[in-house]
Structure 1
Amino acid sequence: MMSTADFKPLAIAVLTISDTRTLANDSSGQVLVDKLTAAGHQCLERELVPDSKYAIRAVVSRWILDENIHVIISTGGTGVTGRDGTPEAVKPLLDKELEGFGEMFRVLSYQAIKTSTLQSRAIAGVANSTYLFCLPGSSDACHLAWDQLIEAQLDYRTQPCNLVMLMPRLNEV
């Protein structure tokens, strides 16, 4: 349900974690940029880093400190193979984890990929009044997370409650 309140555009940073992609062929990151701008938000920054918890943590830490960035969305590094380390990189930075995000993402993902969803370690949380969403590296996962979970929660008009209205800094947007 939507209220009649005015839309509040947010400044969002997109981070792709990959040892093989470049910004030129980063389809998942591009999905997120396209979706968030179509919704009326601004992509303030976009970067790509290798799957290294220290490289991930460095960028995310810098963005958490930037008062102009309201939301960080990452794609990649949430699996269980090789160097997947996004949750390990991000969790120590969180003030609070939004456990329901990962739970809901896996429930919704089950409809498309069945039991393979148990391999997903998608997480979300808040740090220094900045929301973080860590998504799998597939374009389908980014579509699903944005369309069915993130978009409504980043829209101030979503009722009965949304993430924007819960953060005082975001209410100054």
Structure 2
Amino acid sequence: MTTASESLAIAILTVSDTRTLDTDTSGQYLVDAVTEAGHSVADRQLVIDDIYQQRAIVSAWIADPAVEAILVTGGTGFTGRDSTPEALSVLFDKTVDGFGELFRYLSFQEIGTSTIQSRALAGFANRTVIFCLPGSTGACKTAWQGIIRSQLDASFKPCNFVGHLKGNH
């Protein structure tokens, strides 16, 4: 696998009421994918599906000049406790509408119409890109391999997000 042309500092948050770091296969997949691509993991945390706890962690990362990208897995569905879109979309300075659209397109090819239950989203806050992914490991693989990996690679053409991030004024 090719590695990114420029290493970024990426924070990873798993939103779950039931997982631990030992049972968090989605978060671990993202850690492995990020490092395999040549990036560093700036921080990794697990938080229960609580709007204010999610906002507190992600807000701290947004304010941290060392964190350039944030990957959040979990809390994007329709169950009673799923609250990641409500928790984090209010922090965005700009939304990346195409991410959710493209994610659901790619996901449709894998899981059919069940993809309409995904509320995957992305945005920018303080020159930090934030991707909010479903909690399944398969969905994290789809998002990373199909979209995020190339958008966090400065050599990807015709465009990528690297030039818009904190470390690239």
- Same fold flag (TM > 0.5): yes
1:23 aligns to what?
A: 21
Distance 2:126 2:164 in 1: 13
Structure 1 segment 61-140 matched on structure 2, within 5 A: 61-140=59-138
| Alpha-carbon distance, 1:165 to partner | 2.0
Aligned pair 1:43/2:41, yes or no? yes
Identify the match of residue 156 of structure 1 among 154, 157, 161: 154
- The one-character-per-residue Cα deviations of 1:22-46 (angstroms, maximum 9, x if unpaired) are 0011000000000000000000100
Given that 2:122 and 2:132 are in contact with CA atoms closer than 8 Å, whether structure 1 keeps it comes out as: yes
Q: TM-score, normalization: structure 2?
A: 0.96
Distance 1:128 1:9 in 2: 19
- The one-character-per-residue Cα deviations of 1:87-110 (angstroms, maximum 9, x if unpaired) are 000011000000000000000000
Distance 2:66 2:96 in 1: 22
* Deviant stretches of 4+, over 6 Å: none
Gaps of 5+ in 1: none
Identity %: 56
1:170 aligns to what?
A: 167
**Residue identity matched to 1:55:** Q
What RMSD over aligned residues (CA atoms) do the two structures have, in Å? 1.3
Secondary structure, aligned partner of 1:152: helix
Given that 2:76 and 2:132 are in contact with CA atoms closer than 8 Å, whether structure 1 keeps it comes out as: yes
| Alpha-carbon distance, 1:82 to partner | 1.8
**Residue identity matched to 1:112:** E
Secondary structure, aligned partner of 1:106: helix
Gaps of 5+ in 2: none
Distance 1:170 1:159 in 2: 19
- The one-character-per-residue Cα deviations of 1:97-155 (angstroms, maximum 9, x if unpaired) are 00000000000000011010000000000000000000000000000000000000000
- Report how many aligned residue pairs link the two structures: 167
| Alpha-carbon distance, 1:166 to partner | 3.2
